[in-house]
Chains A and B, each alone.
Chain A
Amino acid sequence: MTTTVGGRRPTEETPPGGARAGAPPRIPDWRRKARPYLLSVPAVLLIIGILYAFFYGVYYTVLDYAATNPDPQFVGVANYREVLGDPLFWRSAGTTLLYAVLATGAETVLGVAIALLLNRSSLIGKTFERLLILPLMIAPVIAGVIWKLMFNPQFGVLNHVFGLGSTFDWLSRDRALFSVVLVDVWIYTPFVAILVLAGIRSLPQEPFEASDVDGASWFYMFRRLMLPMMWPYILVAVIFRFMDCLKVFDSVYVLTQGGPGVTTTTLQISAFQDSITNLNYSRGSTYMFLLWIIVFITARYLVGVLGKAQRRAAGAGV
């Protein structure tokens, strides 16, 4: 009788039974069949852990669970009707979207510019490359506290340095959103810059060398070669930052608590106030589930754009 081991037919050197001298012992069939399942167990457990929490949160959205109502009842879509009918939800959604667009836009433009500067090999570039990562090492909450002190008109450093006196309020109704975006830009521009810089350094050199030989200008090479090829890397940074901005909470809450009024109230802050301050868990969960839907749809769309950009970049790179 001949048997196969690992899909290979026994050769003349292979003794009957399939085992050669010095070869690993034969793995029983049941173990071979079970191996893929065993290997996937950690991933399955992880997914179950994530999904359990997720669906538990979704379950809350159809209850009327609050601290003042510890025996919750099923209420169907009442929470969704209530939240979607609340002008604060739409105001918070608009603020969140505006925050995400402003912060991601500014971080992308600045991040790409910094990456291009750092791409030139020099001592200053290498030094800045290392210093640039410092804001990323600070927790957003701490960054919020630092910037709140710097924004203070009475003793903050910014009014002093820019000669604004004690009457310029960085966190007034007209400026608060831009100020909280500024803090986000300060923290996360290095993230974009480092991601894009890594992308630039991985680009093939041949097209640039060929263009250089042909006498193309730096701007022409940037616009027609570098930008199309690094576009996928920029988009990856945009996706990460945009999704993160949609979920912003920490730095904004520390700086303004969502104020003045509701000027900087994002969806996360509204959810926090419902869940943690007001102890209305079902309403807070509803806010968060609706935010999850927004993030999911946005992510799907942006990943689609990324795919197209990658195909285009692949064409440019040929």
Chain B
Amino acid sequence: MSEQSRPLPLSRRTALAALGGAAAVPLLSACGVGTGGGGDAAATANGAAEVTGSFDWKALSGESIKILQTPHPYQQAFQPLLKEFTELTGIEVQADLVAEADYFTKLNTELAGRTGAHDVFMTGAYFIWQYGPPGWMEDLAPWIQNSAATSDEYDFEDIYEGLRTSTRWDFEKGSALGTGGQWAIPWGFETNVVAYNKRVFDQRGIALPETFDDFIQVATDLTDRANNTYGVAFRGSKSWATIHPGFMTQFTREGGQDYTAEGTTYTAAMNSDAAVEFTRKWVDLAKNAGPTSWTTYDYPQCTGDLGNGNAMMVYDADSATYPKNKAGASKEAGNLAWYPGPAGPDGSYATNLWTWSLAMNAASKKKQAAWLFIQWATGKDAMNKATASTFADPTRASVFDGSFKQTLGGFPGYLETFEKVIDSTKIQFTPQTKFFETTEDWAVALQDIYSGADAKSRLDELAQANTTKINA
């Protein structure tokens, strides 16, 4: 009998089996991020009270901070300006970048671990609903109100009111946004409207559709699968982010609502008659005039297809389509234009917004330096400079009306669209701590309907499950 063909002894077999089991161990342990340091928002001491005296940008000269960002036109516009912050304050900034697909995974894990590794981080308004209750974010209202910590020139009220409101909440069931702490400062934001290929629209003499039914018809007419072009791109991936841009905007304009609240009890309403009818039309639009692989589409694919001339329209963030029209940025650069998208039956231009904001890690050991950075980055001077690059849309009215408007010459309809929807633009979702779970379930329901499930029964099932989850 040859040596290599001798059976392994039992102990080695057992060891191999145990090895197989042990291989799953890191995965199991990876689910845990440490239970230490629990507590709620109120239990975390706010650092603003410790700052006294007169305001001085140089107060912490020689200090250094770390910020966590995702590669994004906002971040790219500010990157060259960081040295100006260092010159102004003497504070060094180390910016760590994590791709957007993994950004919130990294951020969730880091905040839950309460290491305070990064002092400042980029976040969206919805994330405040998740990060706020466990006390992971610093309430910035005391910092804004403290004249020793904040420059007289900061002018917080210059930031659009809808954006200031969207980043405040008291985390109480039934409470609207705009109450409670100021958990982040809006930095850049986007309204969800329609960008279209003006060259093709003009060539074919197509008028911009005013109603959703007309929109569907135009998108369908523009679809020519044989030539690899289609009417409209919008997100369809299995993610909460599928719901919030075009879908939520048009859903609201068509009379849809996510939840109704009675006191502190919510009832899911995404199965109302109006919601079911709209959802059916939206999914049919995706099938007949959307990207073929709609269930994998996020905004980069949508805007990529618009820039390449495959998609004739995109229903998504204005700031996501904006860079595609910059000279040399895409095949269709210079041919894109914007309009608000179809109005609702009652003429509503209700629009859902997304705001990238800057927040302070409650576990930061350098809170004053972190606040100086946030104050600088969301201040007028830095924001004005950033608009010369890819920073759209600025959150300050003075910056938007000043330097940003001057950059919009080659962007037909961008400004008019903004001015048309801005007063109706806000977060159209009901604030709630189970937002990501319930909204991703909503996206799963859309994918199921796209794959053949009956819209009414699937949305009934979703509404029942979400009502249970949100009230738990």
Give chain A's interface residues, CB within 8 Å of chain B.
50, 53-54, 56-58, 60, 63, 65, 67-68, 70-72, 148, 151-155, 165-173, 202, 204, 229, 232, 239, 243-244, 247, 254-263, 268, 271, 273, 275-281, 284-285, 287-289, 291-292, 295-296, 298-300, 302-304, 306-307, 310-311, 313-314, 317-318
A285–B28 CA distance with the chains assembled, in angstroms:
6
Give chain B's interface residues, CB within 8 Å of chain A.
1-2, 4-8, 10, 13-14, 16-17, 19-33, 35, 37-40, 101, 105, 108-109, 112, 130-131, 133-136, 225-226, 228, 230, 237-239, 291-293, 295-296, 301, 304-305, 308, 310, 433-434, 436-437, 440, 444, 447-448, 450-453
A246–B239 CA distance with the chains assembled, in angstroms:
23
A72–B452 CA distance with the chains assembled, in angstroms:
41
User: What are some 6 contacts across the A-B interface (CB < 8 A)?
Assistant: A56-B32, A165-B228, A173-B452, A298-B20, A299-B19, A313-B5
What B residues does A151 contact at CB under 8 A? 293, 296
Most chain B Cβ neighbours within 10 Å, of A151, A166, A244, A310: A166
A304–B109 CA distance with the chains assembled, in angstroms:
39
Q: How far is the CB of B428 from chain A (nearest CB, A)?
A: 21
Q: B292: which of A60, A167, A276, A296 is its contact (CB, 8 Å)?
A: A167
What A residues does B28 contact at CB under 8 A? 53-54, 57-58, 285, 288-289, 291-292
* Cβ A53 vs Cβ B1 within 8 A: no
* Cβ B38 vs Cβ A70 within 8 A: yes
Q: B130: which of A56, A67, A259, A288 is its contact (CB, 8 Å)?
A: A67
Q: How far is the CB of B208 from chain A (nearest CB, A)?
A: 24
A56–B36 CA distance with the chains assembled, in angstroms:
12
Give the top 5 A-B pairs by smallest Cβ distance, nearest first.
Answer: A299-B20, A70-B38, A53-B29, A259-B238, A153-B292
What B residues does A244 contact at CB under 8 A? 23
A263–B451 CA distance with the chains assembled, in angstroms:
10
* Cβ B23 vs Cβ A57 within 8 A: no
Residue of A whose beta carbon sits closest to that of B43: A70
What A residues does B301 contact at CB under 8 A? 152
Q: How far is the CB of B455 from chain A (nearest CB, A)?
A: 14
Q: How far is the CB of A204 from chain B (nearest CB, A)?
A: 5
Q: A260: which of B40, B134, B450 is its contact (CB, 8 Å)?
A: B450
Q: A243: which of B2, B13, B23, B447 is its contact (CB, 8 Å)?
A: B23
A213–B250 CA distance with the chains assembled, in angstroms:
79
* Cβ B35 vs Cβ A63 within 8 A: yes
Q: How far is the CB of B45 from chain A (nearest CB, A)?
A: 16
Q: How far is the CB of A221 from chain B (nearest CB, A)?
A: 17
* Cβ B130 vs Cβ A311 within 8 A: no
* Cβ A262 vs Cβ B444 within 8 A: yes
Known: A57-B32, A166-B228, A166-B292. Is A279-B130 also a contact (CB below 8 A)? Answer: yes
* Cβ B32 vs Cβ A303 within 8 A: no
A300–B15 CA distance with the chains assembled, in angstroms:
10
Q: A310: which of B7, B134, B434 is its contact (CB, 8 Å)?
A: B7
* Cβ B27 vs Cβ A68 within 8 A: no
Q: How far is the CB of A175 from chain B (nearest CB, A)?
A: 10
Q: How far is the CB of A112 from chain B (nearest CB, A)?
A: 18
A277–B434 CA distance with the chains assembled, in angstroms:
10
* Cβ B24 vs Cβ A278 within 8 A: no
A164–B26 CA distance with the chains assembled, in angstroms:
42
Residue of B whose beta carbon sits closest to that of A312: B7
* Cβ B31 vs Cβ A271 within 8 A: yes
Q: A275: which of B20, B21, B31, B237 is its contact (CB, 8 Å)?
A: B31
Q: How far is the CB of A73 from chain B (nearest CB, A)?
A: 11
Q: How far is the CB of A145 from chain B (nearest CB, A)?
A: 9
A313–B6 CA distance with the chains assembled, in angstroms:
8
Residue of B whose beta carbon sits closest to that of A284: B31
Q: How far is the CB of A163 from chain B (nearest CB, A)?
A: 13
A169–B295 CA distance with the chains assembled, in angstroms:
10
What B residues does A53 contact at CB under 8 A? 25-26, 28-29
* Cβ B447 vs Cβ A154 within 8 A: no
Known: A56-B32, A303-B16. Is A292-B21 also a contact (CB below 8 A)? Answer: yes
Residue of B whose beta carbon sits closest to that of A153: B292
* Cβ A276 vs Cβ B109 within 8 A: yes
Known: A288-B24, A292-B25. Is A281-B32 also a contact (CB below 8 A)? Answer: yes
Most chain B Cβ neighbours within 10 Å, of A243, A257, A262, A295: A257
What A residues does B26 contact at CB under 8 A? 53
What A residues does B20 contact at CB under 8 A? 239, 243, 295-296, 298-300, 302-303
What A residues does B1 contact at CB under 8 A? 314, 317-318
* Cβ B108 vs Cβ A314 within 8 A: no
* Cβ B437 vs Cβ A166 within 8 A: no
* Cβ B109 vs Cβ A314 within 8 A: no
Q: How far is the CB of A78 from chain B (nearest CB, A)?
A: 13
* Cβ A68 vs Cβ B133 within 8 A: yes
